[in-house]
Amino acid sequence: MSTPPGAAAFCLRLVRRQLLLAFRRPIDIANPLVFFAMVIALFPLGLGPAPDQLAAFAPGVLWIIALLSNLLTSDTVFRGDYDDGSLEQLLLAPQPLYLSGLAYICAHWLVTGLPLVLISPLFAVMLNLPAAGILALALSLLLGTAVLSLVGAIGAALTVGLRRGGMLISLLILPLYMPVLIFGSACVQAAVTGVPTGPYLAILGAMLSLAIALAPLAVAAGLRISIDA
């Protein structure tokens, strides 16, 4: 009789499984990136092609689109496993649900958040963002998208049992996204104007630490409520 894997090995397998499932459905990876690209392409049409005007709006625009791209995929964090019944088996597993939820969130960020971080400099150049702000944009998105994935997973856990939870999840988590948006865009704006970005990145890092500590607990409770209901 084989012994069950330890918590760390189980979580790594869970992350690997989620990544394999995502790569088998490339549309799940492409959707937020295509949305990001399409909306950025539309902004010059609405604001005008003036480089200075685009540069002034670029920090806020890039961060708002990143937030909406994350919101677009939040509902899918647990949806597939709930539909095929494997999420119920996860709740019965001997491993802590806290770590399992964290593994799901990590896989979601690797599929949706990290690609946005990697391609954000390209779109920043398209909006004429000064070079001083590109590094700040990438760093703030690196921290901020992780927070968005953690917070979004709470809404996904609470609404996974609903047939159409997309609108409800937006209402639940959008207010919690606002601090990340404020400090993320302010970090980029500070870099552009020559103000030190360290305090803004420190606040985003503190948000991430708090979210890692508390969000998986809320996710575990939300999954138990949704599945028991």
- For residue 124, the model assigns a pLDDT of 87
Does any domain span residue 2? no
Mean pLDDT of 22-27: 80
Q: Average model confidence (pLDDT) for the chain?
A: 85
- Position 78 confidence tier, pLDDT thresholds 50, 70, 90: confident
Examine residue 12 and state whether it is found in any structural domain, yes or no: yes
Distances (CA, A) of 89 to 39, 84, 85: 39, 10, 7
More confidently predicted of 207 and 15: 207
| Contacts of 81 by beta carbon, 8 Å cutoff, 6+ apart | 87, 90
Q: How far, CA to CA in Å, does 130 sit from each of 62, 127, 137, 180, 201?
A: 13, 9, 11, 22, 19
pLDDT of residue 1: 44
Among the listed residues 182, 177, 179, the one whose alpha carbon sits nearest the alpha carbon of residue 152: 177
The alpha carbons of the chain give a radius of gyration, in whole angstroms, of 18
Least confident of 2-11, 110-119, 197-206: 2-11
Packing angle, helices 26-47 and 51-74, rounded to 10: 150
Q: Which two tokens stand for residue 139?
A: 């760093």
Instruction: Name the residue among 132, 130, 122, 120 with its Cα closest to residue 66.
Output: 120
Q: How many residues does the chain have?
A: 229
**Span 131-166, pLDDT tens digits:** 888 999 999 999 999 999 999 999 888 888 776 656
Domain region containing 127: 7-228
Of 33-42, 102-111, 164-173, 199-208, the least confident: 164-173
Handedness of CA 72, 77, 78, 81 (dihedral sign): positive
Mean pLDDT of the region 51-76: 83
Higher pLDDT, 21 or 138: 138
Residue 69 pLDDT greater than 90, yes or no: no
0.75 exceeded by pTM:
yes
Is residue 116 domain-resident? yes
Inter-residue contact 56 to 192 (CB < 8 Å): no
The tally of domains found in the chain comes to: 1
Specify if 205 maps to a domain.
yes
Is residue 1 in some structural domain?
A: no
